[in-house]
Chains A and B, each alone.
Chain A
Amino acid sequence: MRQHLRAIRAATWLGWQIESNWTDPWLFFLYLVLKPLCASLLLWCMFVAARSMSAAVPGELLPFLYVGNACFMIVGGVAFGLSWVIISDREHYQMLKYIWISPLPLRSYLIGRALARSLQSAVGVVLTLAGGWLLLPELRSALTWERLDGRWLVAYLAVGVLMLGAVGMILAGAVLNLGRHSMLLSEGIAGLIYLLSGVVFPVEVLPEWLRPLCFFLPTTYWLEGVRRALMGGTTFGRALEGWSHGDLVSALLLSTALLLVVAHAVFRWNEQRAWRQGRVDQTTGV
């Protein structure tokens, strides 16, 4: 256990150095704020543009999509951070082979590295929400201390990190056996989750034949839960209207438990396969 913790600590430190030491702290801070804030403000611009052209734009959609988009950063940081570590360490820094032969447990190392990225995403989420709160009156009225449900938020975040970590581990395992362009896989999954989890629009806007897929994704429940814990009560979406916090957390716990078992098996199998096929130190750069 101590070895795992040591690996995680060292890898987190290394990850943070890689993420942050490329520039002066002020530029890094700007990077941390500007990138996610602009991505979220892009949606606000669409909202304003639509309003200038049509009177039927529902005002309560703005906090829904802004908060959803901000929280999606955590999905990116945790779930896709792990597979990015495999690619950058194997193809770019060419260090994966040394980690592999060291006594550090690979999984702990990956978790540590992804933790640094997740930390960065978490800071990004907070700053984006704070920026939105300062800039947008609609968000100020939706995000208030009275509406915030701290206990449920902590519960969602804890289960969510585990759930996303398991997804990340499955992806990292798959990427271990693919080349540099396997980021395609992570990006594809990210795109699907963004489209089908009700991140920036309620799932009932999707064509009817797509909607059942949304309910298979644990991220749909997670985002709905986090939004409710942040903004209080029900949100703009109607699809999970009848679900209480308890229902959402139970569904999340169940799917997370299942995902953790699958992630353990998939990663182990992929580790063995990569070793057998000699893919631990392959570089496929072009």
Chain B
Amino acid sequence: MSLLKRRRPWIARQGIVRLGTANPFPLKTPGMIEWAIFTDRLTRVYRRPRSRRAAVPANEAAKELVALDQVSLSVRPGELFGLLGTNGAGKTTLIKILTTLLAPTSGVARVDGLDVVSQAALIRPRINMVSGGESCGYGILTVRETLWLFSQLYGVSHAEARRRIDHMLEVVSLRDRADTKISHLSTGLRQKVNFCRGFITDPKILFLDEPTVGLDVTAARAIRAFIRDWVRERPDRTLLLTTHYMMEADQLCDRVAIIDRGRVLAVDTPAALKKRVQRYPTFRICLTPGADGWQSLGRVPGVHQHAVTAGPTAIDLKVSLEAEAVIGDVVQQIAGSGARILTLHKVEPTLEDAFIELCGHGLSDTEIGE
């Protein structure tokens, strides 16, 4: 107790940390995976200064703000893992803790098997971080000089740094601006330089916080493709990505954690998450106006639910079934009653549907101040 108090006085003062308890998830036991990123009941509480408490409405003026609440996650080496959540959900707080920028209030966080509190210095050579929408370095330096500067902080040799810088500038189509001063670049181009900075140190574990935010469609697409290739290139590379672009998470990530108000609500592959929201296969059928074959659909065996929207030009029918094969009987029933089917297609769930189902609100509905 006294040792911990000396090392982490603030945490000990709060009395939140579980002092002396054994880790229920030992990092590595024979036959078990060594996680690239591992958190167990990780919590971060921000204390509001008294002065700031007075500035917010009484119902919000709590002494503390729980940014992360008992977050438990395990990311395998080689995995491209996504964190999906609204602004203020706790994604950036989690990244800050994992990149040794912020201390947890309680719980455990390990990166490449090392504790973020006591072994921060050992973690740093293995990681890097890119925050989207930000730039790095000094306006007076050129793009190449900026990237060289940051490579030196990681001890990369000059020749290797040069090779990596050239490669990365090629990836983000900035080769022709290599000798332009940062102060002369647009915001988007500065962001690209910052993106390159994250990769030139060849980290084992990379944290990308909204990497494509603010970039144009072509640049974002190129960056997504590069991210995917970078992880696949070597099996020991791991990437943790936060985003609020559903499509990005769906396209890139092996697994996704949905995080809301500091809590992890679900962790699974994007496909499995989507499947969760749609237990019953759903079809959308469009009929000619005035048709009435749909009225007896409820009596067809295997039809779970159906809903109708009648418009002046067509009737829109949404049918969920207990099994996909039942669609044949449904079509037969409609055709038999004399109605004409204009279109028919299967409704695929999106990650956004899964998000709404789990959180109870969309990505743009809620913003929580940190």
Contact = CB atoms under 8 A, between A and B. Distances in A.
Interface string B69-85: 00000000000000000
Interface in A46-103: none
Interface in B113-169: 138-141
Contacts of B183: 282-284
Query: Which has the most chain B C-beta neighbours within 10 Å: A282, A283, A285, A286?
Result: A286
Contacts of B140: 284, 286
Nearest to B51: A21
Main secondary structure of the interface of A (DSSP, over half): loop
Contacts, number: 12
A285 B141 CA distance: 11
Nearest to A180: B139
A284 B139 CA distance: 6
Interface range on chain B: under 10, 10 to 19, 20 to 34, or 35 or more? under 10
A284 B183 CA distance: 6
A286 to B, nearest CB: 4
A283 B138 CA distance: 11
Contacts of B139: 283-286
Contacts of A286: 138-141
Contacts of B141: 286
A286 B145 CA distance: 13
A286 B139 CA distance: 5
A262 to B, nearest CB: 31
Interface in A228-286: 282-286
A285 B140 CA distance: 8
Nearest to B140: A286
B150 to A, nearest CB: 15
A284 B182 CA distance: 9
Nearest to B141: A286
A286 B183 CA distance: 9
B136 to A, nearest CB: 12
Select the residue from B138, B139, B141 with max chain A CB neighbours within 10 A. Answer: B139
A132 B214 CA distance: 57
Nearest to B137: A286
A166 to B, nearest CB: 32
A27 to B, nearest CB: 14
Nearest to A285: B139
Nearest to B138: A286
Contacts of A283: 139, 183
Interface in B169-210: 183
A286 B146 CA distance: 11
Nearest to A282: B183
Contacts of A284: 139-140, 183
B194 to A, nearest CB: 15
A130 to B, nearest CB: 30
A172 B138 CA distance: 25
A125 to B, nearest CB: 30
A18 to B, nearest CB: 15
A283 B140 CA distance: 11
B327 to A, nearest CB: 57
Nearest to A91: B139
B4 to A, nearest CB: 32
A133 to B, nearest CB: 36
Interface string B33-72: 0000000000000000000000000000000000000000
12 contacts: A282-B183, A283-B139, A283-B183, A284-B139, A284-B140, A284-B183, A285-B138, A285-B139, A286-B138, A286-B139, A286-B140, A286-B141
Interface of A: 282-286
The 6 nearest A-B residue pairs measured at CB: A286-B140, A286-B138, A286-B139, A285-B139, A284-B139, A284-B183
Given A284-B139, A285-B139, A286-B138, 9 more contacts: A282-B183, A283-B139, A283-B183, A284-B140, A284-B183, A285-B138, A286-B139, A286-B140, A286-B141
